């Protein structure tokens, strides 16, 4: 019985299922998709993922090891970040590490507020590549 006092109706399973039709892909559509993936995207296509470099003393010390720190979009993943850095700066990326900085509660007298969180990425470049983004 259901909540409203009526009996539940049983599904009629006596009907035969229709045969499954095989899926046929049009060759022209697949050719268009493969051509689009082969085209190198312009740096402006990735500009929404990468924010300005994260310039701190600790980030400046990492430059000796070919590591650079960037603020990135909160929803960006490692592969998107890697593609974006390679397209924008024309370098080869070896490794990407990401850190989510959580929001923090701050007080000023009786007023309580929040310091916004962000996501940053530590980019390690391959041998022979360098960026000129850190002040000397």
83: left (phi over 0), alpha (psi -120 to 50) or beta: alpha
The SS3 of residue 119 is strand
pLDDT by position in tens, the chain (length 136): 556 666 666 665 565 656 665 655 555 544 444 444 444 566 667 778 888 888 899 999 999 999 999 999 999 999 999 999 999 899 999 999 999 999 999 999 999 999 999 999 999 999 999 888 766 6
In sign, the C-alpha dihedral spanning 109, 112, 113, 115 is positive
Segments making up each domain of the chain, as ranges: 42-125
**Residue 78 has what pLDDT?**
95
Q: Of 3.30.70.2190, 3.30.70.330, 3.40.640.10, 3.30.200.20, which CATH number belongs to 42-125? A: 3.30.70.330
Task: State residue 62's pLDDT score.
Answer: 93
Asked whether 108 and 114 are in contact (CB, 8 A), the reply is no
Question: Cβ distance 96 to 123 under 8 Å?
Answer: yes
CA distances from 62 to 38, 41, 84, 123 (A): 34, 29, 20, 10
Q: What is the pLDDT of residue 105?
A: 95
């Amino acid at each position: 019985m259901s909540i409203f006092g009526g009996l539940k109706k049983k599904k009629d399973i006596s009907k035969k299922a229709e045969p499954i039709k095989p899926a046929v892909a049009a060759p022209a559509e697949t050719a268009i998709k493969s051509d689009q993936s082969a085209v190198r995207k312009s740096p402006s296509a990735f500009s929404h993922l990468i924010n300005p470099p994260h310039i701190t003393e600790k980030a400046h010390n990492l430059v000796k090891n070919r590591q650079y720190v960037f603020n990135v979009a909160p929803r960006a993943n490692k592969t998107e970040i890697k593609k974006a850095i390679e397209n924008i700066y024309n370098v080869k990326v070896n490794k990407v590490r990401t850190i989510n900085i959580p929001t923090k509660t701050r007080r000023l007298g009786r007023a309580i507020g929040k310091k916004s969180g962000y996501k940053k990425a530590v980019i390690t470049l391959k041998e022979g590549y360098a960026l000129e983004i850190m002040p000397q």
